Amino acid sequence: MSPSRPDHLTWRHRVVIGLTALVLVALGVRLVQVQVLDHNDYLLQATRTRVGAVDVPAPRGAILDATGYPLATSVDTVDVYVDRYLWRDRAKAFGAATALARMLDESVESLMSTGAEQDNGDAIVRRDVDYARGERIRAADLWGVHLVPSSVRVYPEGDIAGQLVGYVGRDHEGLWGIEADYDNVLRGKPGWISTERDPLGRPIAFGPRSERSPASGGEVQLTIDRFMQAIVEARLDEALQQFKAPSGSILVMDPKTGAILAMASRPTVSLSDIDLNSSDLLDLVRNRVVTDLYEPGSVLKTLTTAAALDLGKVTPDSTYEDTGAVDVGNYTIRNWDLVGHGVVDVRTYLQKSLNTGAVWLSEELGAAAFYAYLRRFGIGESTHVGLAGEAEGLMRTPDDPNWYPVDLATNAYGQGLAATPLQVLTAINSFATDGVLMRPYIVSKIVTGDQVRVFQPVAVRQAVSPATAKTMLALMRDVVQGVPHHGARVPGYSVAGKTGTTLVSIPTGYDLDTTIASFAGLVPYESPAISILVKVDQPSGGLNLGGEVAAPVFARVALDLMHYLNVAPTKPSPAVVTAP
C-alpha cells in the first residue's frame, strides 16, 4: 500500500459516498413517487396515449302525431374526414382520394386539395353520408380516411306544423318548437367506445375494449293529427290569399279534453328549405297561437254574458234599451253598426253583437265580479300548455293604477285587453264541458326506454255552472243557426259560435282601417266534437268583419273535419240520405 493513500475513509470519500447516497435516495424517492404515489395518474396518461375513445351519438327520438306518424325522425349517417397528417404521403393519399371520390361522387382534385390545406388535423370532406355508403367506405379501409357517426333529422310530412315541430341544429340541439321544448327527452344519452389503438389511431383488433351503449332519445307523441293539420293549413293559406291578409291562425281543439288537434299560423317557416341565418327567422318560427296576443273583440262577449248569467244578473230573456250608444265617463261607446236596436234581449244582443249590450252586462256585474270571472276563464294567465314562449295576456284590473272605469266597458266587448288564441278557445271550450275549464295540452305521450308517460286531460276549475254552460252553448247556437245565411253555418251540422272583429291597436290608439277578424265556435252543437278558432289579421279587399272573413273559413274547416272525423250529421241536409 502506498504511503500516500490513507487506509481509512477520508472526508473526500465521505463526500462522494454521501452524494451518491443522496442521489440514490432521491432516485428512490422519485421512484416511489412515480410507481406508487402517482401510479394511477401515470397509468391514466399512458392509457390515454394508446387508448382512444369514440363518442357514439344517441339516436334522437321521433316526434309522432296522434296517429303514430313521425313528423320528425332521425336517420343515421356518417361524416367523412381525412387525416391531413397521413395524407402528406401524396401517393397513398391519391389512391385513397381516387377510391373515395368514386364513392362520394366527388372529384379527386377537390378531395386532394381539401386534404392538403394543412399538414395536420382532420378535414371534413362530406357530412351526412348515408349509413350504407358509409359502411362501404369503412370496409374499403382507405388510407387516412375515417368516419364519425352522425345523424340527420328528417321531416317526412315536409313543412307541416313547422313552427310547432321545430328544428334541430348542426349540434343536434332543438332550436324551437317541440324539438327545443322537449330536447332533454328527444336527445338521449350518447355512448362511447374505448379501444386500444395503434400509432395511426386504428383500433387494435383484440386489444382491451370498453364501451357504454348510447341510450336512444325518447319519443314524443303529440295530440296533433297530421290529416287535420294539413286540412287546417290548406284552408288557412286559402283564406289569407282570398282576403289578402298578411297573417292569421287557426286552432282546432277537442273541447271535452283540451287536446289540441291542429294548430297553424302564417307566415311560417319551411323546414325543407330553411335559412337559419335569415333575419326574419324569428318572426317565421313564432307559434302565434300561443305567443301572440290580440284583442279578442266580440268573441269575449260570450264570457261577459256567461258571467252575468252565472251570477243570476240576467237570463237569456232579460232586456235593455239599446240606443246605439252608451256614455261611460267621458267616453261614448257605440255599436259596430252605429244603429240603435230598441229593446233587445240577451239572445239578440249576442246575435247582433251589440257593444251596448256588453256594457250593460258589465255594469250589472261590476268590475270585481267581471274580472274575477275572466280569471276563472283563464284570461290573463298562462294555460300551461307546455310550449315555450306562451304569453300570459294583458288585462288591467281596478287594482292597477292605470285602470279606468271605461276599461270595464271596453273589456266587456273584448277591447282593451289581450289574450292568445289558445286562451280564448280554451275559455270557450268550457261551455262544452259543463262549465269546467280544461287545460289545453299538445303532448299526449312520452316514451323513454321502457317508461311510458301518458298525459291525461286536466280540469283546471269550474268556471261557470253546468246550467250556465248549457245556456251559453244554446245562445251561441242561436248566434249562428238563428241568423239566416250566417257565414259559419255548416251543411248538416249545428254550430255554436261567435264572431269577433277588432281594430288593430297602434301606439297612438287604434287603426280604424285595419281589423282582426275572428270566429270561435263548436261543432256539432249537440255534442261538440271539435272547437275551432279562426283569426285573420288585417284582411283587405272590401271584407274585414269576423262574420264576413273568419266565419266562412270556420265553416269550410269544420265541414272538412266533420267528414274526416266521421261525425254523423245532426241536421237534415240534402247531402244526407238514409240507407234503406
Binding site for other proteins (CB under 8 A): 59, 64, 67-70, 73-76, 130-132, 135, 154, 156-158, 160, 205-206, 225-227, 230, 492, 563, 565-566, 568-569, 573, 575-579
With beta carbons less than 8 A apart as the criterion, state whether 530 and 561 touch.
Answer: yes
Residue type for position 331: Y
Residue (157 or 381) nearer to other proteins, CB: 157
Helix, strand, or coil (residue 65): coil
Residue (73 or 383) nearer to other proteins, CB: 73
With beta carbons less than 8 A apart as the criterion, state whether 73 and 144 touch.
Answer: no
Q: How far is the CB of 149 from other proteins (least distance, A)?
A: 9
Helix, strand, or coil (residue 148): strand
Which among 270, 269, 71, 66 has a CA at the least distance from the CA of 155? Answer: 71
Q: What is the rounded CA–CA span in Å between residue 518 and residue 353?
A: 13
Q: How far is the CB of 157 from other proteins (least distance, A)?
A: 6
How many CB atoms within 10 Å of residue 343? Answer: 9
Q: How far is the CB of 161 from other proteins (least distance, A)?
A: 12
Q: How far is the CB of 417 from other proteins (least distance, A)?
A: 38
How many CB atoms within 10 Å of residue 283? Answer: 12
Residue (456 or 566) nearer to other proteins, CB: 566
Q: How far is the CB of 62 from other proteins (least distance, A)?
A: 8
Q: How far is the CB of 425 from other proteins (least distance, A)?
A: 23
Residue (36 or 575) nearer to other proteins, CB: 575
Check residue 434 and give left, alpha or beta (phi > 0: left; psi -120 to 50: alpha): left
Residue (157 or 434) nearer to other proteins, CB: 157
With beta carbons less than 8 A apart as the criterion, state whether 83 and 146 touch.
Answer: yes
Q: What is the rounded CA–CA span in Å between residue 361 and residue 358?
A: 5
User: Is the link from the previous residue into 524 a cis peptide, with omega within 30 of 0?
Assistant: yes
Cell of 551: 266565419
Residue (65 or 295) nearer to other proteins, CB: 65
With beta carbons less than 8 A apart as the criterion, state whether 254 and 101 touch.
Answer: no
Residue (3 or 572) nearer to other proteins, CB: 572
Q: How far is the CB of 262 from other proteins (least distance, A)?
A: 13
Q: How far is the CB of 203 from other proteins (least distance, A)?
A: 9
Residue (230 or 517) nearer to other proteins, CB: 230
Rg (CA), the chain: 36
